[in-house]
Amino acid sequence: MSFPIALTINGQRRAINLDDPRVTLLDLLRERLHLTGSKKGCDRGQCGACTVLVNGRRINSCLALAVSLDGAEVLTIEGLAENGTLHPLQAAFIEHDGFQCGFCTPGQIMSAVGLIHEGDAGDDPERIREAMSGNLCRCGAYRGITEAVIEAQKNMPSRMNGGAA
């Protein structure tokens, strides 16, 4: 049995036939579409390494069944840069050493993009840390991550300040 779905992934409409309705969005992205930026960490929704945006909202892609997202817009780390230019948050992560081993970095960046678009980032480091508490970093790069979020949101529109999500 085949389960047809259509997703817009990083701006590109994709028609996909799933052989199994239990395929997670993470597995579809990594194994079938070869978008390996989102990482499989805990596979339980606890570490945030698999964070992507679906219809503009942050989700743990390891917990979302792909078949349940028919018609959705998905943005992965691979879709952030435009025409070879880093997204402001990617650039800020580099500038502020917001990564060490880099394993959690894609999920951290996607979560931060979602946080900024939700209008919840502000400039309070504690508020940012709390809002991103579902994204874990084994290396402890939290200070650089927080500084990157504070800087990048100055160059990004958010819903609260009239920008588009």
Counting residues of the chain whose pLDDT is more than 70, the rounded percentage is 95
Angle of helix 88-95 versus helix 105-118 axis, rounded to 10? 120
Position of tokens 């085949």?
2
Q: Quote the mean pLDDT of the chain.
A: 91
Q: pLDDT band for 157, please (50, 70, 90 cuts).
A: low
Q: Mind listing the domains of the chain with CATH numbers?
A: 3-79 (3.10.20.30), 88-155 (1.10.150.120)
Residue 98 has pLDDT above 80, yes or no: yes
pTM of the model: 0.88
3-class secondary structure, 14: strand
Q: How many CB atoms lie within 10 A of CB 109?
A: 26
User: Rounded mean pLDDT of 54-77?
Assistant: 97
